[in-house]
């Protein structure tokens, strides 16, 4: 719960709204993003991406997708790699139904990116919290990432 003594910082860049909370509170920001149904975009890549990787846009170079390694990335998750067109190009889906074979999700629960860059039903206690959609079953999600995310800081 956010109290009167907590500090809230809001970043209102063009397509990103971030909320940083000191003191361990959590703000749920309503209304999500994620684009139109089945929206896909081709991005350049460094050759390391594979189908199923969560990605975010590079902060320094336009039209480059980078692999989400944890929940500390400088930009929010924007999609899932659905095909590797070439060693330098991938297709990224911005929403839709996806199988997550290695997950053990809670059906009906919101899903997030965990500390290792994987999809989880567990709400992270530190770093960025971004709703990626919801679990349709224990191994399938409806992916519709909110471009608004919350940063949770560890308490001193």
Q: How far apart are CA 15 and CA 19, in angstroms?
A: 14
CA distance 51 to 18: 28
Q: What are the phi and psi torsion angles at 66 (to 5°)?
A: -120, 145
Which ranges of the chain would DSSP assign to H, the alpha helix?
A: none
Cβ atoms 18, 10 nearer than 8 A: yes
108 Cβ partners below 8 Å, 6+ apart?
Answer: 134, 135
Per-residue pLDDT of the chain (156 residues; tens, 9 = 90+): 444 455 555 444 444 444 554 444 444 333 333 333 568 999 999 999 999 999 999 988 879 999 999 988 878 999 999 999 999 999 999 999 999 988 889 999 999 999 999 999 998 888 889 999 999 999 999 999 998 888 887 654
């Amino acid at each position: 719960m956010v109290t009167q003594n907590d500090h809230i910082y809001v970043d209102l860049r063009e397509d990103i709204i971030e909320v940083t909370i000191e003191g361990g509170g959590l703000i749920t920001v309503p209304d999500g993003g994620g684009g139109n149904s089945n929206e896909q975009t081709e991005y350049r890549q460094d050759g390391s991406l594979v189908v199923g990787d969560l990605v975010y846009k590079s902060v320094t170079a336009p039209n480059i997708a980078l692999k989400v390694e944890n929940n500390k990335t400088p930009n929010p998750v924007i999609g899932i790699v659905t095909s590797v067109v070439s060693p330098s190009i991938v297709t990224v889906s911005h929403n839709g139904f996806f199988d997550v074979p290695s997950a053990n999700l809670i059906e009906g629960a919101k899903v997030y990116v965990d500390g290792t860059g994987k999809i989880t039903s567990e709400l992270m206690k530190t770093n960025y919290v971004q709703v990626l959609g919801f679990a349709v079953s224990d191994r399938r999600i409806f992916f519709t990432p909110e471009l608004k995310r919350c940063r949770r800081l560890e308490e001193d």
